[in-house]
Amino acid sequence: MLQAGYRISIASLAWTLVVGVSAIVAGVAGASLVLVVFGAIAMLDAVGSSVLIVHFRHAMRHEAISARRERIALLVVTIGMASVGTATIADSAFLLARHGGGRAPVLGIGLAAASVLALSALSVAKRRIAPRIPSAALTADGWVSGVGAALALVTLVGVGLQVAMGWWWLDPGAALVLGVSALPLSWVLGREERSGELDAPIG
């Protein structure tokens, strides 16, 4: 089952890297804040997956997973998520205040739509595999992927309506939703790390 956790983490890393970089590039090109934020969150998911890959490789060699390393991975994701959320809220508020917003490219719609499906599938797979390892960090990572799928849906709606209707406030407005959503996620993950839930025995 460790190999299953290792493989799903590799798949997650590959997907989030490709989508994250593509979304950021497309967002910068189209001056779309919501795409840049979505890409940044995807890159955070990639960081978590990369650390889990190291964990599972170590576990397959030593037949044990380091709970300390899992807490570190969760802490990195927590701090990053909180930072992205705070910066996004500030940027979105500024754009809304000055009535400014970019025009997202159609590519953004495809990225968001594909991410809704892919991240949902990754979330289900991670949550199914994690208890059988067991790995609380993989469970948390699966939750992050699930929230990422929800955020991709928000991005899809925001970008799609902006392209269709041309309303300037949709881009910063959708980005604001992403930023606000990231903060409670970071709080929940941080609470799990502080409570020591990740100290459960790992075989």
Residue type, 201: P
Model pLDDT, residue 194: 59
Q: Report yes or no on 108 lying in a domain.
A: yes
- CATH number for the domain spanning 160: value is 1.20.1510
pTM of the model: 0.78
Which residue segment(s) compose the domain that 42 sits in? 2-194
Q: Report yes or no on 52 lying in a domain.
A: yes
DSSP state at residue 168: T
CA distance 152 to 187: 20
Q: Report yes or no on 201 lying in a domain.
A: no
pLDDT at 200 over 70: no
CA distance 106 to 1: 40
Q: Report yes or no on 44 lying in a domain.
A: yes
Q: Report yes or no on 123 lying in a domain.
A: yes
Mean pLDDT, the chain, integer = 80
CA distance 138 to 110: 27
Q: Report yes or no on 202 lying in a domain.
A: no
pLDDT at 14 over 80: yes
If one counts the domains in the chain, the total is 1
Q: Report yes or no on 199 lying in a domain.
A: no
Please write the tens of the pLDDT for every residue from 101-133. 555 567 778 888 999 999 999 999 999 998 898
What tokens were used for 184? 């409670």
Q: Report yes or no on 10 lying in a domain.
A: yes
Which is more confident, 128 or 48?
128
What tokens were used for 177? 């939703």
Q: How far apart are the first and last CA of the chain?
A: 10
pLDDT at 80 over 80: no
